[in-house]
Structure 1
Amino acid sequence: MDISNRTVLLVGATSGIGLELARRFAEAGSTVIVGGRRADLLDRIAAEGFATAVRIDVTDQDSVDRARDAVLLAHPDLDTIVTMSGVMIPEDLRDPAHFGDAERTIDTNLLGTIRVIDAFTPHLIARGAGTVITVTSGIGFLPFPAMPSYAASKAGVHAYSEALRVQLAGTGVEVAELVPPAVATTPEHARINPRALALADFATEVMDLLRTEPTPHEILVRGVLMHRWAERDGTYAELVAQRSQGLAMLPSRQ
């Protein structure tokens, strides 16, 4: 895809991967709108001047509808939607009290993605062209047992993306799925997980892949290939066993 003249809405992009990709789209020449819940972060982004900002809570249908109306009023040429919103919460499945975290995770990561896509799909279909980019995770393909609902939600977004692509075939709207591995979005993340990709390196690789024609169905940086193809490569059971060591992070198991 040509990333130099797009009008891009990134939802859930007030920090981390989303914010870095928003900057990269802007640097490439695209018009960028960043959506998120936190007013302070949105104000900071707007003050920097590389993007406009809109408040949106993907767990609230009214908020999604208001954001859609505001964005399309200001940017009727909107042609690219990136759904970034997500929460990542450890859960101990032996404790029924985890259910609240599971519910929040599914509502934000999976249903929130669907709400955003539903809000903007009619606009993109009416244009006859556009791109939807969903964001999943390597954990959706190779689970991290300490975060089961996160893995389930991202696997769900993957399946939904596949179905969306098929259903939108012939409309001119393409669907791409960005699959990040662990990315060090802060110095603390880099300290906790030395194997995590540096944010700048990850974003550079993503933007290079997005420039590919045609846009890949799955945007896979090199660091996520071991996750994506673990079952095919026969490494799945071994890698899940390694990642099961993360259960020690749960307070009840320390």
Structure 2
Amino acid sequence: MDSFFQSQSSFQSQSSASTWSYESLKNFRQISPTVQSHLKLVYLTLCCALAASAVGAYLHILWNIGGLLTMLGCFGSIAWLFSVPTYEERKRFGLLMAAALFEGASVGPLIKLAIDFDPSILLTAFVGTALAFGCFSAAAIIARRREYLYLGGLLSSGLSILLWLQFAASIFGHSTATFKVELYFGLLIFLGYMVFDTQEIIERAHCGDLDYVKHALTLFTDFVAVLVRILIIMLKNASDKSEEKQRKKRS
């Protein structure tokens, strides 16, 4: 009996030690100093890309430049970035900023719509996206190495399903139900990609891939994809509420 209670107490101590605590949040022993400095550079570059996209959105608000040309410019800048050797860091950084600028201008019509409808919606959507990005990235960094990499197959399958849904909707026509499914399902997929891409970047850095520009581009794509979907959801909910208020006033 004594041995049984000793084994139970040792099991409880091991399980309590394996749970998260405040000290575990500061434990980065699984991440080498080189990878930590690489992550700092990646997130700093990401902040610069987000600032460039904000400039692009502002330019669209001023001169209405967002559209097909800016989208093509974004794709062209990304393709050019991947063709430039990694040792030309300044050129690749400039191409990333250009791609972020064009992306911000492409999303500019949606941002202008949100500002015209209610500026607080844009601020709330951005803060919510930033909080979600910070939480999911922190979860991926603090977790054990390669713990979330299994999500890659599930997320790829979900993304292919989302593409097929959009393809079918373009042929048979969009409906409110399919639009909601695409919107919320896409949001769930890209939230998962925030976790997966962060851990993949850490593993690639451990293997010697320290291309911070490419890694910042990956996280920037996830951030914009989540921001756009959250903004659309909030705009739709706000418009539905305003329509209900107008109906009540008329009745």
For normalisation by structure 2, the TM-score amounts to 0.27
Greater relative contact order structure (CA < 8 Å, 6+ sep)? 2
> Structure 1 or 2: larger helix share?
2
For normalisation by structure 1, the TM-score amounts to 0.27
> Structure 1 or 2: larger strand share?
1
